[in-house]
Amino acid sequence: MAKWFARKPSAAPGPRPDLEARAKLRIGIPKLLNVWTTHQFWLGFFGALGVPNNRVVFSGDTSEEQAREFGRGRGTVDCCYPVKCGAGHYGELVFGQKRKIDILFSPMIYSLSSFLQGHVADSLACPRVMAGPENIKAGFLKERDVFAENGIRYVSPLVSLAEPAIVPKQLYEALKDVIPGLSYKETRAAVDEGYRTLKGFNTEMRARSREILEWCARENRPCVMVLARPYHMDAGIGHEIEVDLQAYGYPILWMQYFPIDDDLMQWIFGPDMAAGHIKSPFDIDDVWPSSYSANTNEILWGAKVAARVPWITCAIRLTSYECGMDQPTFTPVQQIIERSHTLFFSFQELDSTKPAGSVKIRVETISFYMQQSSERIIEQKQAVTPPGCPLLPQAESKLATAKAELAASA
């Protein structure tokens, strides 16, 4: 009965925040998995609680040296490298800091606040990715508590970023004994700040991508779209394949940060909506009905974008060894891209070692094909895209033309 009549967390008066103690905390966050697209949330969140950003320490990029030096002997299972490398990240934060951290904060991100939310079935993280911290933790606890031995509090809350209403509760429960004087009310405000910071960062990244696209459209130049999971941005996981390609002069777009402005979305997906294939620009039901995995959904959506934007003449797919979420999408993604005449290259089975020789040869091949075919691909794709591209000058009048035509056809 006491539980039934207990006060809600929101009604609790809460303790007084101990800002002085918080300013002295050092929080280590392993830079792995979905932290790659949520890091700004955590900076905004901890910043709002009074932990300065310069006291939030991220582990370095993944590397074989990191795994050798800090993660050796702590692996518990053979799975995909993006999860397996976590032992090195944990180890670096525990053993490799000049100034010791007080808290190792490794969120189990259950779901993500994807821009496709509301248009898809769900926005869950991959089962391995969400459970990664439990798995990595086991390697540091199986013989003795390595965290405690090093004076570190290990905090690993399950966080449903796709459900903002419950995130304050999840984080408050996990942090109330760790952040001095933490109250539920304060946690809720900090969560809001986290979302604001993340949104601000994403908006800025999308604006930069739009600048690149506008330049390509204006100059009629090709660019490359990367279809990959967030952690392939890690130099040790994605092996900087897109960087090698950029060195040949092709601008690179990551689909996670593709601009989603309404004018552009209407221009790209207007014909599909008019034909009744989709209900909104962010609806992927026409190509991927099982739309419950956030990162998978975004890859499929990115493939659709790449198939429709004329200046994206090539899409490259990065996927890690044994990735079970990517596996069923191999054919749909390739089909989506190739049916639009866009070039498609896939780097599969990426693992710990960069296959530098074969990457070099493949990048040369991609560059050759882009050089040979981009002009033709742009023409072919332009022939089936609506007029009034908002990426081009006088876009406004052209958009109006497109809308009028679409309305007429509908």
Residues 332 to 351 in contact with other proteins, rule: CB under 8 A:
332, 335-336, 339-340
Nearer to other proteins, 212 or 274 (CB): 274
Site string for other proteins, 105-134 (x = CB under 8 A): ---x-x----------xx-xxxxx-xxx-x
Does 288 contact other proteins by CB under 8 A?
A: yes
Residues numbered 129-188 forming contacts with other proteins, rule: CB under 8 A: 130-132, 134-139, 141-143, 158, 160, 163, 165-166, 169-170
In a 10 Å sphere around its CB, with 0-12 CB exposed, 13-18 middle and 19+ buried, how is residue 5 labelled?
exposed
Nearer to other proteins, 243 or 384 (CB): 384
CB of 191 to other proteins, least distance (A): 12
Task: Among 211, 289, 376, 393, indicate the residue that binds other proteins (CB under 8 A).
Answer: 289
HSE-CB for 41 with a 13 A CA cutoff: 22
Q: What is the DSSP letter of 124?
A: B
Contact 45, 193 (CB under 8 A): yes
CB of 398 to other proteins, least distance (A): 14
Q: What is the DSSP letter of 69?
A: I
Burial 248-260 (b: 16+ CB within 10 A, else e): eebbbbbbbbbbb
Burial 314-331 (b: 16+ CB within 10 A, else e): bbbbbbbebbebbeebee
Task: Among 63, 117, 352, 385, indicate the residue that binds other proteins (CB under 8 A).
Answer: 385
Compute the distance between CA of residue 160 and CA of residue 223 in angstroms, rounded to an integer.
Answer: 35
CB of 275 to other proteins, least distance (A): 5
Tokens found for residue 246: 């950029």
CB of 98 to other proteins, least distance (A): 29
CB of 367 to other proteins, least distance (A): 26
Which residues are CB-neighbours of 333 under 8 A, at least 6 positions away? Answer: 227, 299, 300, 303, 317, 344
CB of 124 to other proteins, least distance (A): 5
CB of 227 to other proteins, least distance (A): 14
* Number of residues this chain uses to bind other proteins (CB under 8 A): 75
CB of 6 to other proteins, least distance (A): 8
Nearer to other proteins, 124 or 161 (CB): 124
Q: What is the DSSP letter of 234?
A: S
Task: Among 50, 230, 251, 386, indicate the residue that binds other proteins (CB under 8 A).
Answer: 386
Nearer to other proteins, 112 or 226 (CB): 112
Residues numbered 311-330 forming contacts with other proteins, rule: CB under 8 A: 322-330
Tokens found for residue 230: 């967030």
Nearer to other proteins, 222 or 386 (CB): 386
Does 5 contact other proteins by CB under 8 A?
A: no
Does 277 contact other proteins by CB under 8 A?
A: yes
Does 384 contact other proteins by CB under 8 A?
A: yes
Which among 95, 97, 175, 86 has a CA at the least distance from the CA of 138?
86
Stretch that binds other proteins, among 78-86, 208-216, 218-226, 356-364 (CB under 8 A): 78-86
Does 60 contact other proteins by CB under 8 A?
A: no
Cα Rg of the chain, angstroms = 23
Compute the distance between CA of residue 19 and CA of residue 354 in angstroms, rounded to an integer.
Answer: 45
Count the neighbouring beta carbons within 10 Å of the beta carbon of residue 384. 11
HSE-CB for 365 with a 13 A CA cutoff: 13
CB of 210 to other proteins, least distance (A): 22
Residues numbered 237-256 forming contacts with other proteins, rule: CB under 8 A: none
Task: Among 201, 215, 248, 292, indicate the residue that binds other proteins (CB under 8 A).
Answer: 292
Does 19 contact other proteins by CB under 8 A?
A: no
Stretch that binds other proteins, among 193-201, 356-364, 389-397, 401-409 (CB under 8 A): 401-409
Tokens found for residue 215: 């330049």
Count the neighbouring beta carbons within 10 Å of the beta carbon of residue 183. 18
Backbone angles phi, psi at 356, to 5 degrees: -55, -40
Nearer to other proteins, 169 or 199 (CB): 169
Compute the distance between CA of residue 86 and CA of residue 33 in angstroms, rounded to an integer.
Answer: 9
Compute the distance between CA of residue 294 and CA of residue 33 in angstroms, rounded to an integer.
Answer: 13
Instruction: Tell me the residue ranges of DSSP E strands in 74-221.
Output: 103-105, 108-111, 153-155, 158-160
Nearer to other proteins, 143 or 219 (CB): 143
